[in-house]
A and B are shown apart, each in its own frame.
Chain A
């Protein structure tokens, strides 16, 4: 068991990082009236943890008894039937799934699941919790149609079913859904918060933490708590009596991006661009989302760049990322950004050094 999982807060009371949010949620549940919730925030900030803790708060420890199911749905869509298969996690009181896994047919899943849940309404003897909770992951990846169909079902079945939506960016969730939910923004933990968490873990594990070491990990972690804890454990595994200047192992793909960046800085030519294309493909093949690649690449390039160019390069990065999101073939746009950068940089070099 990794520390990430081992020291994950189980209840809202244990939550350290977003303590205020946790307390608010607790109050919300205590009033017996839980609205639909939309959690959004960057990865590694603790959305899922909060949701789980909240579920436990609502339903008690029983919420953690989950089973994995591969559900099949047969959906009548006019003339044809659509077969869908999706993995769900479900307990007696909640169902958790990420409908974006089925691609463009996510709409049917959303409708179907909610209807199904409404049908099998839990009979609670005390009549207290007459609703189930549906946790939907990656709502921002849902298609527009699915989101539209979601908003109607949300209202219609709200008596029996609450939705906890979870996504990285609320900007890609339609207004309609956002207005039907209580939006909970989970921001990335600050570095001090991360240091606190690491100190706590160190204490629990009985480790000696040299001063400043936790801070260094926090800096490296990109304000992602998950990454920080994993890095911490990695350091522990590699060399235990910590030294304050111990090397923190980098992420491999980030190293690779750094390589690409230095390649770009060394030479600007179509030939080089072709090599860069190969490397970008490598990154994309290994399941690293293209927008993350672009972001990291920009970061690495900016590190090596003169101040006067930074603004322009950032502008173009944003421009190409926008196109990338609209389009389908990310490599075209990634490459276009690299070409643009090369062009700018080469022009700059020529202007400066003649």
Chain B
């Protein structure tokens, strides 16, 4: 045989087509031969080498001939109720089983050639004969096919004749071509394009699923004649396979008929079940169940075929659509694909019926839908719109479907214009193109995989033979491998070579003018190629290692330069290179690789700076160098390079933190603190200074004078550096700074989180962490200090007077700090302060005493009217700041003694009877309206 079984004999095909074309109402089909033929007869046939279509055939034959009628519960489960009476004949016995033990009596093992599944079939002649008799009766009453066998045979003859005629005429054209070279020659790609389903080279599973999907449209598309039509096609399809299996096996078409046409439905479903037994039977069963019950269009209204070019996606779409009785309308990238034009086009396809005689329904094939971005999107949008419109009207789908059974024409018009009533097949190369993102979710996606090389080669061989071209299968294999099974490219190459009267030799496939696809691969593929040594046949076959090296070089070079995204590629290499297992005793290879990375970085930087993009050509060799150094045979575990990006983003965050903090620090400090050297030499000491271990977490009035001084200094540092504490949720990651912080429910952390700057992973710093109580005190103090600064900050010359000002602030902090500790004493003291304000003359001495311990003790005894309590809080700061201001004014030139200040301030005070200052935003007491008069008492 000149070809494999998957390329059916022309006769068969013609017969198929003939059958398909003039399929009469199936009632007239007479069963041809009785099914009494013992199944065992068919077994060897099943084991015979044959095409994948036929792979499942024996099983389904078995099933059909013997079981179709009598498969018991399964049958009932799947079939619609009205078919039940037919199945009444069911015999309660297992005939086919996976386990021999389940069959009593004689049985025969059957092995499916495709999956190697083994089933056991019971041999029961009596039943078969029984059935045979029954069937015989039927078959005699009405034949299997519409025409008697002799008519069919005649037809077959005629077809072969025409075929022969055609081929001979083709031969003539070729001859004439040699004489007259200008004559246009048909491209082999077109000439040998598959015309029927069985001729397809693409993966069987995909083919079937595409067909299945198209079938689901039958009910919707073919309207009232849904049953008959679908059955026509179905039976035709089934006949295909059976005939393709062996032409003599006419009996395979028979059992369908002995039950009448409704059976065929079921039987086909069964066969389908069987066919997909090893893939996803459940899913498909469901689909089919649905299909038999509801006659609407399938769930996913769009089929998206994707795969690399040249595998026959378009061909499959065309063939399948034709096969199912559609007229194909193709929109491809060369057409105008703006959304308006495509919408009208789709509507044309979907809504209108052809006025032509054949009046086949149309099927829209949108080719290269991922191709054009701007306009291609229009198409996607329109389709999506239609699908969603359909989804809305989905509720009414069932009655619509019913209507369609009766008078669908009107109902179709009544429907919203933009809904899909015809199958739409979209074809793309890159499934993950951004334009297809939304489409991917609604469409049924099929990914094409490469057909096996042997299939492609056999097909190529067949074509070459037909064309009279001398080739060796080795060369063809090499060609197919080289083009990655791109049939189109193979054929074009062959035709080109044929034209040039050259022969294809296996060794120089690469060097010959075989068009290489300019295909870019994903970054992961590239990393894999870099890290993994290829062990392909091509390399092994090549004679010298030198040529293999150059081959490899060429391959990698084109691969990498096609991708072009060197930055990402080298990042990925950098990320993953150290995870490889390569032999490297003195790290020489690692050093070299990292040097290469360094060079690539330098080059990248230079290119970017000078904008000399042509220099990019020097990038791929670096990657190839690394490949030579570290490539291993085992599969590398590749990760997407994230760490560099993470580093970039975190660095930006930290720099931002620093920047914003830097802006808040008063300029006389911040100008001396550079952002870049802050972490380098300031942060660690600063953190130490900010949390002094000498500070005892005790009540402030228990602190000694010196400790108070320290505290005041600390607060002033925090204020001047704009650092405070802030409530933070406890880190999920235990804080490195100290465990007690992490354990606290509401831990107080530094507000610009400066401690994060020394928070290195896996590093434990020995910074002392203040107790929570201490932090709270500090927080309070700092806040107070800030408010105070704001209140009179404008009048104070910060740069000039901050030295002196600081001293005062410290005093005051000492005072108010002590006030903070015990609330009772605090309020009392504050009241005392308020009172001081009211009776300035009396209280002046007490206010100006810097150490206010006396103050608190005194004021605790002081009896005050409760009506003042509301304001005391507010004014707690104002008295001191009030005095400070005067003090400052007077003490600017020289450090005055307290008494001098006191005098000056009292003198000032006396000139004005009352000074009222309102400090907004700091109160933790009850508010109460107070009249000015009350202060003036």
Known interface pairs A227-B685, A332-B601, A333-B598. Does A270 touch B590 (Cβ–Cβ under 8 Å)?
yes
CB distance from B827 to the nearest CB of A (A): 31
Q: How far is the CA of A66 from the CA of B674 in the complex (A)?
A: 17
Nearest CB in chain B to that of A330: its residue: B601
Binds A, one of B521-529, B756-764, B818-826: B756-764
The 0/1 profile, CB within 8 Å of B marked 1, for residues 23-65 of chain A is 0000000000000000000011000110010000000010011
Contact, CB under 8 Å: A326 / B578: no
Known interface pairs A335-B594, A340-B591. Does A44 touch B681 (Cβ–Cβ under 8 Å)?
yes
Q: Which of A2, A65, A238 contacts B721 (CB 8 A)?
A: A2
A20 within 8 Å of B (CB atoms): no
Contact, CB under 8 Å: A251 / B689: no
| Residues of A contacting B759 in the complex (Cβ-Cβ under 8 angstroms) | 286
Known interface pairs A1-B720, A328-B604. Does A66 touch B587 (Cβ–Cβ under 8 Å)?
no
CB distance from A325 to the nearest CB of B (A): 10
Q: How far is the CA of A251 from the CA of B687 in the complex (A)?
A: 11
| Residues of A contacting B850 in the complex (Cβ-Cβ under 8 angstroms) | none
Contact, CB under 8 Å: A292 / B680: yes
B597 within 8 Å of A (CB atoms): yes
Contact, CB under 8 Å: B668 / A5: yes
Known interface pairs A285-B647, A287-B679, A328-B605. Does A252 touch B587 (Cβ–Cβ under 8 Å)?
no
Binds A, one of B113-121, B403-411, B648-656, B776-784: B648-656
CB distance from B242 to the nearest CB of A (A): 62
CB distance from B81 to the nearest CB of A (A): 67
Nearest CB in chain B to that of A66: its residue: B667
Known interface pairs A2-B689, A5-B672, A328-B601. Does A250 touch B684 (Cβ–Cβ under 8 Å)?
yes
Contact, CB under 8 Å: A343 / B574: no
| Residues of B contacting A222 in the complex (Cβ-Cβ under 8 angstroms) | 681
A243 within 8 Å of B (CB atoms): no
Nearest CB in chain A to that of B630: its residue: A270
Interface centre among B577, B590, B717 (most CB of A within 10 A): B590
Q: How far is the CA of A273 from the CA of B590 in the complex (A)?
A: 9
Interface centre among A252, A286, A320 (most CB of B within 10 A): A252
Nearest CB in chain B to that of A144: its residue: B609
Q: How far is the CA of A270 from the CA of B602 in the complex (A)?
A: 23
Contact, CB under 8 Å: A331 / B647: yes
Q: How far is the CA of A66 from the CA of B681 in the complex (A)?
A: 26
CB distance from B548 to the nearest CB of A (A): 27
| Residues of B contacting A326 in the complex (Cβ-Cβ under 8 angstroms) | 602, 605-606
Contact, CB under 8 Å: B651 / A285: yes
Known interface pairs A230-B689, A342-B587. Does A283 touch B760 (Cβ–Cβ under 8 Å)?
yes
Contact, CB under 8 Å: B688 / A237: yes
Contact, CB under 8 Å: B604 / A226: no
Q: How far is the CA of A161 from the CA of B591 in the complex (A)?
A: 51
CB distance from A277 to the nearest CB of B (A): 7
B686 within 8 Å of A (CB atoms): yes
Contact, CB under 8 Å: A230 / B682: yes
Nearest CB in chain A to that of B666: its residue: A68
Contact, CB under 8 Å: A52 / B671: yes
Q: Which of B594, B679, B693, B756 contacts A288 (CB 8 A)?
A: B679
Q: How far is the CA of A340 from the CA of B589 in the complex (A)?
A: 10
Known interface pairs A230-B682, A292-B680, A336-B598. Does A89 touch B672 (Cβ–Cβ under 8 Å)?
no
| Residues of B contacting A304 in the complex (Cβ-Cβ under 8 angstroms) | none
Contact, CB under 8 Å: B654 / A287: yes
Chain B positions 616-662 with a Cβ under 8 Å from a chain A Cβ? 643-644, 647, 650-651, 654-655, 658
CB distance from B457 to the nearest CB of A (A): 43
Q: How far is the CA of A49 from the CA of B765 in the complex (A)?
A: 32
Q: Which of A255, A269, A277 contacts B587 (CB 8 A)?
A: A269
Tally the A-B contacts, defined by beta carbons under 8 Å. Answer: 218
Interface size of B by CB at 8 A reads 79
Chain B positions 578-604 with a Cβ under 8 Å from a chain A Cβ? 578-580, 582, 584-588, 590-591, 594-595, 597-598, 601-602, 604
Contact, CB under 8 Å: B601 / A329: yes
| Residues of A contacting B713 in the complex (Cβ-Cβ under 8 angstroms) | 1
Q: How far is the CA of A329 from the CA of B650 in the complex (A)?
A: 15
Contact, CB under 8 Å: A237 / B689: yes
Q: Which of A6, A234, A268, A323 contacts B598 (CB 8 A)?
A: A323
| Residues of A contacting B597 in the complex (Cβ-Cβ under 8 angstroms) | 332, 336
| Residues of A contacting B591 in the complex (Cβ-Cβ under 8 angstroms) | 336, 339-340, 343
| Residues of A contacting B840 in the complex (Cβ-Cβ under 8 angstroms) | none
Q: How far is the CA of A227 from the CA of B760 in the complex (A)?
A: 21
Q: Which of B579, B586, B683 contacts A274 (CB 8 A)?
A: B579
B922 within 8 Å of A (CB atoms): no
Contact, CB under 8 Å: B668 / A282: no
B694 within 8 Å of A (CB atoms): yes
Q: CB within 8 Å of B: which residues of A?
A: 1-2, 4-6, 8, 43-44, 48-49, 52, 61, 64-68, 70, 87, 89, 96, 137-138, 222, 224, 226-227, 230-231, 233-234, 237-240, 249-253, 255-256, 259, 268-271, 273-274, 277-279, 281-289, 292, 320, 323, 326-329, 331-333, 335-336, 339-340, 342-343, 346-347, 350
18 contacts between A and B (CB under 8 A): A43-B681, A224-B681, A227-B682, A233-B685, A237-B692, A238-B693, A268-B587, A273-B587, A281-B643, A285-B651, A287-B658, A323-B598, A326-B602, A332-B597, A332-B598, A332-B601, A335-B574, A346-B586
Q: CB within 8 Å of A: which residues of B?
A: 574, 577-580, 582, 584-588, 590-591, 594-595, 597-598, 601-602, 604-606, 608, 643-644, 647, 650-651, 654-655, 658, 663, 667-669, 671-672, 674-686, 688-689, 692-694, 710, 713, 716-717, 720-721, 756-763, 765-768, 797, 799-800, 802-803, 806
Contacts A4-B672, A239-B694 aside, 13 further interface pairs with beta carbons under 8 A come to A1-B716, A230-B682, A252-B765, A270-B584, A279-B762, A282-B761, A287-B675, A328-B601, A329-B644, A332-B601, A336-B598, A342-B590, A343-B588
